[in-house]
A and B are shown apart, each in its own frame.
Chain A
Amino acid sequence: MVNESEGGQQEKDLVGSYFLELWRSKSKRAALSHTKDVEMMKLDDEGEELEEEEEPVPTELDTLNSSGGFSIVLPNKLSVQYPSVNLHGHDVGVVQANHPAPVKRLLYYFEIFVKNAGARGQIAIGFTTEGFHMRRQPGWEANSFGYHGDDGLLYRGQGKGEAFGPTYSTGDVVGGGINYTSNEFFFTKNGQVVGTVEKDVKGRLYPTVAVHSQSEEVVVNFGKDPFIFDIKVYEATFRAKQQEVIEKMVIPQTASYGIVRSYLQHYGYEETLNVFDEASQTSVPPITGIHDNGFDEYGVYALNHRKILRKLIKDGQIDEAFGKLREWYPDTVQDDTSAICVMLHCQKFIELIRVGQLEEAVDYGRSHLVKFYNFKEYEDIVKDTVGLMAYEDPKKSSVGYLLEDSQRENIADAVNALILSTNPQVKGQTSWLHSYLERLLKQLTACILEKRLSNGNQGEAFHLRRVLLANNI
């Protein structure tokens, strides 16, 4: 027999730690963006979620690991020349980029400009691995790939090339790229795709150029200057093709309605739910299969209570919210040192600061917050909260995030989850912590990450934010 109060305690702890963690993640983000200047912050707002994807990218040619006397990298580190007369196949002037091509993205691409095709135009562009033999043309050795200018052939791993594209010479711009999703290399000449070839090598690849006859000179562009080839269009075309495949997947006609509906129920957006139901009654066929799974019972549990509490918190009426919780769910707020109570007390303090009642805030802090300094697990959030007092314009301070709408929403979500956890039907489960929508999005993200992992961690991840920002008209 499960001890009732003990079981409830576990769920309360889970809710508490989960939402404290959400609070902390906001605090960290705020601290991070506060240390950067305003210009950076703007960029950050859109790009922050992609931060984890940051990898070093090639910016210049590597002057240390190059083929000694057989190539001269000019001081700008973007040009390479062949200084002498070539004698045999082991005196190629090869230079790699200073970093391997980044992999956590859809595409990588770079270009060369053939400034001088020299005596015989034995120029190559391609990709090589770290231990590449630096006196050989890219493509001649195992795990290397090169598109050669003198014969237009593609070499991959052996001295014999295969028919690929046109030759190139002085004045031409040639590009080499990797598509991590299709697992292919592609090469371009003067802005046009020449062809693609399967990338049958795992591991990091360096953009590589080679020169091999007298006075040959090549200038490399790693993206500092605009490319001649329109990589944006190429990417868009590829994505559109992928999208076509995705659109062929069949989902139940009412899936989106059902998921939106359950989302509104889960978070207690009751008024929206009612209007939504009213409007969709006429246009959407009834959603089947739901009642078999106890879906509705779970979703409507304490719906009205959750809605009322959400509204109180959104309006900054924390005392009233506390009062309702004591009245309806006394167990949940019995322990004044539980995470949920600490968050609510902090929120009360925040609301006093918001309306400029500083003296009341000070009193409230002394009577309700100071004692939490002794709890290691709450120390940081209490510090942030009390810190609001230090600023004349707290909105613009490093703890300004506390005054944003999302802070109230987080507290409201915590209380909502706390009430959901009291549903006797879900005892022992944690499914109530996340909405169906969230679970589906987590599954989507995890699948794409796992697929990438199986592909040597190459390719792009899924970011909901990127989808939201994209306007695919």
Chain B
Amino acid sequence: MSLFWSVIRQLAEIEAMATSKKVITRDEWEKKLNDVKIRKEDMNKLVMNFLVTEGYVDAAEKFRMESGTEPDIDLATITDRMAVKKAVQSGNVEDAIEKVNDLNPEILDTNPQLFFHLQQQRLIELIRNGKVKEALEFAQEELAPRGEENQSFLEELERTVALLAFEDVKNSPVSDLLDISQRLKTASEVNAAILTSQSHEKDPKLPNLLRMLLWAQNQLDEKAAYPRITDLFTATLEDPAI
């Protein structure tokens, strides 16, 4: 280490002491890290949970073989779930609804909001494909009655049919509905509902643990200066901040 950096570091330590913050050097911290035991099988489970929840069915199958980790859900159900998700993502909403009902009719029965959003997506697809007459019929017969049950449904419906009013939809205030992100939003809503119906968490655990790491580091910042990890991709320890 150059003299410059060691001086900077000393200054940092002095300053930290002045604010009565404890300073934990890299050596001390690494010792503490070494004392922490993380079990391999638990990490495997964490990775499996990610693959399964995110729907990487083939990878989950391979991972089961390569690591001997059992998935916490029947892998066959992932295939079905991903088929539904894919159908929504590619605009085949009718197909998706049918698939969900094949999987478990209760999902839509007990989840009126999800059902409405799927129907809304169906309407959006009809409009996208220029089927004006069909779209109007569908809106009036299928969606409007649902709107009576729920005020927010009605507002969303009105916003959606507004797509028909604009000749240049791309520059209209409702253009977001035609965006691919609207499909993804609906797809992830169905995905979550299916997972919940299978008594499975709708989000993988790993991202939450990463958020927890950032949070825990912030918490500890108040008490001590210590080597942090800011780059999650490389997990590199950085020297205590100045």
Contacts and interface: CB of A to CB of B under 8 A. Distances in A.
A464 B38 contact: yes
Interface string A236-250: 000000010111011
A362 B223 CA distance: 58
Given A251-B207, A440-B235, A468 B202 contact: no
Interface residues of B, number: 61
Contacts of B216: 444, 447-448, 451, 462
Contacts of B196: 473
A252 B232 contact: yes
A260 B51 contact: yes
B66 A467 contact: no
Contact of A406 (B40, B199, B218): B40
Contacts of A264: 47, 63
Contact of B40 (A259, A413, A451, A454): A413
B39 interface: yes
A272 interface: yes
Contact of A246 (B39, B206, B212): B212
A263 interface: yes
A25 B39 CA distance: 11
B68 A409 contact: yes
A446 B213 CA distance: 10
Contact of B66 (A247, A269, A287, A293): A269
Nearest to B38: A441
A441 B66 contact: no
Nearest to A280: B56
Interface string B34-76: 0011111111011101110000101100110111100000000
Contacts of A290: 233
Interface in B175-208: 196, 199-202, 204-208
A438 interface: yes
Interface string A418-446: 00000000000000000111111111111
B215 to A, nearest CB: 5
Given A260-B51, A276-B51, A454-B223, A437 B43 contact: yes
A464 B20 CA distance: 32
Contact of B37 (A25, A258, A269): A25
A450 B63 contact: no
Interface centre among B68, B196, B206, B229 (most CB of A within 10 A): B206
Contact of A251 (B37, B214, B226): B214
A255 to B, nearest CB: 5
A101 B63 CA distance: 44
A272 B65 CA distance: 9
Contact of A259 (B49, B68, B210, B220): B210
Contacts of B233: 252, 255, 258-259, 262, 287, 289-290, 293, 295, 436
A468 B50 CA distance: 11
B219 interface: yes
Contact of B205 (A276, A413, A468): A468
A246 B68 contact: no
A260 B45 CA distance: 12
Contact of A409 (B32, B40, B207, B224): B40
Nearest to B229: A443
Contact of B224 (A256, A310, A445, A450): A450
A22 B39 CA distance: 9
A279 B62 CA distance: 13
Nearest to A253: B207
Nearest to B61: A275
A260 B223 contact: no
A207 to B, nearest CB: 28
Contacts of B32: 446, 449-450
A363 interface: no
B38 A442 contact: yes
A39 B237 CA distance: 43
B62 A246 contact: no
A211 B231 CA distance: 58
A260 B59 CA distance: 11
B210 A251 contact: yes
A447 B219 contact: yes
B138 interface: no
B129 interface: no
A252 B223 CA distance: 26
B22 interface: yes
B211 interface: yes
Contacts of A447: 213, 216-217, 219-220
B232 A276 contact: no
Interface string B63-103: 10111100000000000000000000000000000000000
A37 interface: no
B234 interface: yes
A287 B234 CA distance: 12
A362 to B, nearest CB: 29
A22 B80 CA distance: 39
A252 B196 CA distance: 26
A250 B49 CA distance: 21
Nearest to B206: A256
Interface string A306-333: 0100110010000000000000000000
A249 B232 contact: no
A277 B68 CA distance: 20
A442 B224 contact: no
Interface of B: 22, 24, 29, 32-33, 36-43, 45-47, 49-51, 56, 58-59, 62-63, 65-68, 196, 199-202, 204-220, 223-224, 226, 229, 231-237
Given A435-B43, A464-B46, 13 more contacts: A249-B215, A250-B214, A251-B211, A255-B232, A260-B51, A263-B43, A264-B47, A272-B59, A275-B62, A443-B217, A446-B29, A467-B205, A471-B201
- Nearest 8 interchain pairs by C-beta: A447-B216, A249-B211, A439-B235, A276-B59, A272-B62, A436-B235, A454-B223, A444-B213
11 contacts: A249-B212, A250-B214, A252-B232, A259-B233, A271-B66, A272-B62, A279-B58, A405-B68, A408-B68, A446-B36, A464-B42
